[in-house]
Structure 1
């Protein structure tokens, strides 16, 4: 199939609009964390209700990523992107005007659906406009924006919450988004697959249902109980729907929204696994580190954001460097090295202790920031390089799906491990043993950031001992979980080094990637299984 584009527009405008949209949607993934105490006070919300404010967005974001990318290839990427933008902005307005926590949670879910469209289609829009070295630079900028949105979340959320109101973390999207939407309508080019098949409605329904149940089970497993009937039922139903989806897609062949043949591509599998692992390790780490700085060290939302600037600055510089390296250095080296740096940064959290200042986190922040900055540009570029250009939306949607499932797995899994570890450590302390049967409940409150409130309700004579035990349990639990995250990142690093190969890329992208191989020398190509520069490659991609 060939690619068709219409109308005129500048590449720079496309990159700018995609970056603004991506910054907004990812910012709303992290910005809410620092505002949760204010939201709790405004609505007198329970801890479970506050979790839904976070979970609803992640659920909506993960559920339709692949569907959005596939639709964009068929109906027009600019058109689908702009529809997603409108949904995102209307939902942001509803979040800012919500009158209770239930309305806020529903609006957050719809906001996630709109954000999923932007996230899935954005890289494909960049890919259609930029080629060669320019594509590497463009994805370097895009990757920097992805990292900055995550790292700047606490700072921007803190500034808006402290200076105005928590409502403005949502309302600020509206004027900025309307301006970007206007630019999109006037300046961005349309593109779609020239001979696209009909929309795969059955595939969309089955996959969206399966992914929704999977992510929902992961997000709610800790509260409901991993062995409870609802959670096991959701996992089982998700597995059944995925099996049916695979059968339907195999029968549809080239008309399928998800080309199952991609799983025969080693690099596609490698990038997918590394993306999932990186998202699981880094997003859960940032979530827990923000909680540590706020709830243990006692900094305000704004002060917390300021203390994450070392991570932010490092990430921005690293992303700019990575963008220029994507066509000069083998991308497996960038991906593998980035996860190795993230693993190092996560391991350095062990330098913190119950009485250390926030500066003990600086080595960890530099490592995590450097790794995340190096990771995002090649990840976004590789996600669409494994397929022919007219399937870029599908490939981008698949990769972003792996990323958001990784976020859900990381926050749910590592969050549950952290809560359980903190609760056990506190219950085993001298102060915890004095509380008897209520020790684990107290420990759960500490892990959730409610230690101060729990101490206020405890007998006055026990307060100093409880505070010291809570602080120690939180920090020790944080260190233990970060070491597990670091081990997972090491696994991701090995996958990146071993399973990302230039010869698996589509011919339209292989030449640019091979330039990096040329810089490394033909001897390295032979040692690693990469395709040497200048040697013809058969249609199947193997020599």
Structure 2
């Protein structure tokens, strides 16, 4: 294939931004010790990034169509690099959370422009090859995140999980300037600023309410205010989008049962498959005494199963309706989470293996086909919007999963430990509690919390899987090249 330069430039940015979704998982205990971070601080370290990415992804794509996709992509890479340096230099949890949010803003600008940039450069079979390579890089980034994070944390320290982005960013900017041409969307399109603001506000208020519930309770005034604000902002977003000539997301698409089911599946997928990982990593390191490297390697069971199934399933399951692969995959993720919900004070990492394998198999079925299912559920002219919506809902699902499952984890621990001790334990503070509580009590409390989080994740995946199987029925779609062209133009 001629002209690998643009593909390499775009894939460098994609690898970085998706790597940073999971690379911090294994470093959370070290961050807690080094910065004196609480459980809610650690939740926001993960959520600040995912939330900014989800909230601004659609808006960044619309802005790029107007301002120039290469220009917005380069701005995103530069902002991502600056924010990465700020993360590495953070002297406290507040600065780290703020820098992670800024990273997410840069990541949204990068992610929203990757497919349109590839679509403007490659055509026909070359486009198919480019999209295949991009997809493989995307999967690899999420899979190697915990392992690379463990190696860097155990080696030069957790700050290097952010510093490593700097040379990659420089290479991405240099290569993009040299080989990626500028492109724009259709003339006359406008940036939907009210839609961007109201959707970002809705996502932020909803996630804040879920995190706050863990420390203050679900019925506390501030928590209820956050959830109430989320409802109001969602209503405002719907009203704005119904009147907009160039909406970020045409809300009328949700009248299509297949589209609604796929969006629900996207939201549930990332929440259920990956939302428990951060707390599992804390359990492995602070209660079982594993190093960051060994803790990261535990998740290889999930990664290897996902890679294998995605590679083999792409050929063997060709032609199988997406509702079966996505719905069935979500049910397997549910089964995997339920398998891990039997931990006790004597459990070791080996107790996670069957569940991680099942979650990996489910992930390998869901991930490759969920974007295609969204495209098949809408008219061709809305394919780009549908593709962006899938990525938005997946990242929002991850942010909500981290928030809600962390709250469930800590709430369950309060049945064994006092409130403050439960939150300290969930936030990686086991070492400071060992003088006050026997080791079996701490292990039992954390195990019960993980069990509750796993059951919650499994329930979410199971309900979503059933709904996808029931509702995601689509009619025959146009030929693939036309659909691809529509998707990358969006």
Interval of TM-score (by shorter of Structure 1 and Structure 2): 0.7 to 0.9
Name 1:448's counterpart in structure 2: 427
Name 2:94's counterpart in structure 1: 102
Alignment pair present for 1:305 and 2:305: no
What is the SS of the residue equivalent to 2:276? helix
Q: 1:34 aligns with which of 18, 22, 26?
A: 26
Distance 1:49 1:132 in 2: 47
Closer, same or farther: CA 229–473 of 1 in aligned 2, 3 Å:
closer
Alignment pair present for 1:245 and 2:237: yes
Q: 1:115 aligns with which of 96, 102, 107?
A: 107
What is the SS of the residue equivalent to 1:33? coil
Shift of 1:347: 1.9
Matches within 5 A, 1:113-512: 113-125=105-117, 142-252=134-244, 254-324=245-315, 328-350=319-341, 352-384=343-375, 386=377, 392-424=383-415, 426-427=416-417, 439-456=418-435, 458=436, 466-503=438-475, 507=478, 509=480
What is the SS of the residue equivalent to 1:199? coil
Superposed CA RMSD: 3.1
Aligned pair count reads: 484
Shift of 1:64: 0.9
Name 1:6's counterpart in structure 2: none
Deviation track 1:201-235 (CA, whole Å, cap 9, x = no partner) reads 23223332333322322333322433233332232
Distance 2:127 2:347 in 1: 44
Contact 1:314 1:373 in 2 (8 A): yes
Shift of 1:374: 2.1
Deviation track 1:426-481 (CA, whole Å, cap 9, x = no partner) reads 25xxxxxxxxxxx443333333332232112x2xxxx5xx2112212322332233
Structure 1 or 2, whichever has the larger Rg, is 1
Closer, same or farther: CA 209–347 of 1 in aligned 2, 3 Å:
closer
Closer, same or farther: CA 212–475 of 1 in aligned 2, 3 Å:
closer
Contact 1:73 1:391 in 2 (8 A): no
Shift of 1:106: 1.6
TM-score, with length taken from structure 2: 0.87
Shift of 1:84: 1.7
Distance 2:403 2:138 in 1: 21
Distance 1:361 1:42 in 2: 28
- Mean CA deviation greater in 122-131 or 87-96: 122-131
TM-score, with length taken from structure 1: 0.80
Shift of 1:245: 2.7
Distance 1:205 1:512 in 2: 29
Distance 2:323 2:126 in 1: 20
Q: 2:63 aligns with which of 63, 68, 71?
A: 71
Distance 1:304 1:446 in 2: 17
Shift of 1:46: 4.6
Distance 1:397 1:362 in 2: 33
Deviation track 1:241-276 (CA, whole Å, cap 9, x = no partner) reads 332332232223x43232222223332212100001
Shift of 1:335: 0.9
What is the SS of the residue equivalent to 1:193? coil
Distance 2:331 2:131 in 1: 21
Contact 1:74 1:197 in 2 (8 A): yes
Shift of 1:159: 0.8
Contact 1:43 1:100 in 2 (8 A): yes
